């Protein structure tokens, strides 16, 4: 059964850093591009970043460019999002999603709260 399970969320102060993980199972992780999408409390969806199946191409939303880094470890079936210089407006649930059929499977998300 295909599963995406995010972890690593928590409370962090403005200016701090956090690394999110997305553990994939039930499919050939190394064959699919992956996305991070976030949802601020009570708000809609915002695409954050994408990485190609082999990690050779990465794209970011302007709102996170230069602060967030998407990466993957295909040997461990894990997607990452390294977040630094965090701002209060980065507070959100962060979801990973598979790209095989354009966001065909999603994780439940992990909550990141940026607050002093």
Interface with other proteins (CB under 8 A): 4, 35, 44-47, 50, 59, 61-62, 95, 97, 101-109
Q: Which is nearer to other proteins, 16 or 77 (CB)?
A: 77
Q: Do 41 and 50 touch, CB atoms closer than 8 A?
A: no
Helix (H) or strand (E) holding 34: strand 34-39
Q: How far is the CB of 75 from other proteins (least distance, A)?
A: 25
Please report, for the chain, how many H helices and E strands are present, in that order. Answer: 0, 10
Q: Which is nearer to other proteins, 108 or 115 (CB)?
A: 108
Q: How far is the CB of 13 from other proteins (least distance, A)?
A: 28
Q: Which is nearer to other proteins, 101 or 116 (CB)?
A: 101
Q: How far is the CB of 44 from other proteins (least distance, A)?
A: 5
Q: Which is nearer to other proteins, 4 or 12 (CB)?
A: 4
DSSP 71-113: EEETTTTEEEEEE-S--GGG-EEEEEEETTTTS--B---EEEE
């Amino acid at each position: 059964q295909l599963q995406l399970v995010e972890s690593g969320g928590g409370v962090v102060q403005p200016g701090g850093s956090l690394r999110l993980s997305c553990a994939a199972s039930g499919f050939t992780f190394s064959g699919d591009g992956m996305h991070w999408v976030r949802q601020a409390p009570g708000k809609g969806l915002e695409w954050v970043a994408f990485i190609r199946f082999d990690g050779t191409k990465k794209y970011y939303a302007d709102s996170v460019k230069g602060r967030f880094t998407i990466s993957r470890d295909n040997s461990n079936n894990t997607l990452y999002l390294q977040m630094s210089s965090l701002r209060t407006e980065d507070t959100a649930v962060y979801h990973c999603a598979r790209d095989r059929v354009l966001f065909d499977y999603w994780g439940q998300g992990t909550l990141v709260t940026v607050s002093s």
